[in-house]
Amino acid sequence: MVGGDRIDGGPRSAIVIGAGIVGLSTAWFLQERGVDVTVLDRNGVAAGASWGNAGWVSPTLTIPLNAPSVLRYGLRSLSDRNAPLHIPMTVDSALWKFLAQFAANCRTSVWTKAVEANVPLNEECIEAYDVLIANGVDAPVTDAPITAIFRTPHDAEHMMRELRALERAGQNVFVTGLSGEALREQVPLASRAITAGININNQRFVDPGRFVQALGRAVEERGASILRQDVRGVFSPGSGVVVETYSGESLTADAVVVATGAWLSRLTGRRLRVPVASGRGYSFTVPVDRPIPGPIYLPDVRVACTPYQGALRVAGTMEFRDPHEPVISERIGAIVASASPLLDGVRWAERTDVWVGPRPVTPDGRALIGEMSRNVYVAGGHGMWGLAHGPVTGRLLAEQITTGKQPEALRPFDPLRRAIA
């Protein structure tokens, strides 16, 4: 740890840069510990990946991306523009450096280490949501299994092997198999091609934009200011920290948290040896003929479907591109083409709310949470699981900031570690 034990009772003020689920959760739990907080975000609350994701609070499915099978799949998909994992053939040297580090970390030992690191966060992530809900965050959270569906029982066995690997690494896994009428009752939209299912139990889902907006309101009601400011740099000239914005303002606080998602590297620069890449995900909303009781997962095509405002939110793909690039319509078409044979009663042509957002991905499958330099902290790199791990990340990081003691659960996420173990 960089700063050592605090001797003055901790910081009295903090600036959190980033108004997504991770940043706002950190702000809320800092407030809970008596810290005055200001939140800065160039686009406002829930403007990034916190808005358009699938909305799963799914501790059992926080599977690190850097599995050896993903590397093999990624190499095969280089020539397929419609593959769920898409790596554009560009001359972006930073991206190829990241991908080289990612490939070096696609080993069973590194993947297992990432799974083991996530276990304490998974054990507390639902409780962290309960704390927020019980104390003024006014947004619904629904308990429901996530149902993975498959063409054949043989296809389902592949996912069962992955779940058993998680269980061996310490993750609690509670699943039940589905077939016949039980499967049709749980997934009324399943097509005739589907013959097997797995209920991954003890999970939750939310409307992510609504939840994060409610969290932002709660943070403001507790006395924080949420300002639309684009941050130029973060400096630690002495005991405090200075944040400079592109508008020319300088703000000071006792501590600063950088929680800017896929843009994390822009403010941390060379101070971190673990890069963060933009793994863009797409989503859209479609009307359905029959409502579903809970989320559906299509593992073979890597598509997630969630009940959303009386319709269905469909999310998928992992596309390594600059976070500022617009929607690429071919990626939406690829999701529809892969998912439509598996689901009936979905009006694909009537889709709305088409969205793309960048997810912050690290090469070793572990987030970056902790002190980067004296009184400057980072919280990001959660990949596809920022919504699940955002509140528990904020809770643990607020503890570290205010006490000066790194919680044991955060040790594997040390932001000063090396990118290749």
Residue 293, Cβ density class (10 Å: 0-12 exposed, 13-18 middle, ≥19 buried): middle
- 202 within 8 A of 60, measured Cβ to Cβ: yes
Distance CA 389, CA 279 (A): 17
Please name the fold of domain 13-413.
FAD/NAD(P)-binding domain (3.50.50)
Low-confidence ranges of the chain (pLDDT < 70): 1-9, 71-91, 421
What is the predicted pLDDT for the residue at 2? 45
What is the predicted pLDDT for the residue at 270? 82
Each residue of 23-54: pLDDT tens digit?
999 999 999 999 999 999 999 998 878 888 99
What is the predicted pLDDT for the residue at 5? 42
The model's pTM is: 0.94
User: 163-179 b/e with 16+ CB inside 10 Å = b?
Assistant: bebbeebebebebeebe
What is the predicted pLDDT for the residue at 318? 86
What is the predicted pLDDT for the residue at 325? 85
What is the predicted pLDDT for the residue at 399? 98
What is the predicted pLDDT for the residue at 286? 98
- 121 within 8 A of 128, measured Cβ to Cβ: no
Each residue of 234-246: pLDDT tens digit?
998 877 899 999 9
Distance CA 359, CA 357 (A): 7
Residues 6+ apart with CB under 8 A from 39: 15, 16, 17, 18, 19, 23, 24, 27, 216, 219, 224, 225, 226, 227
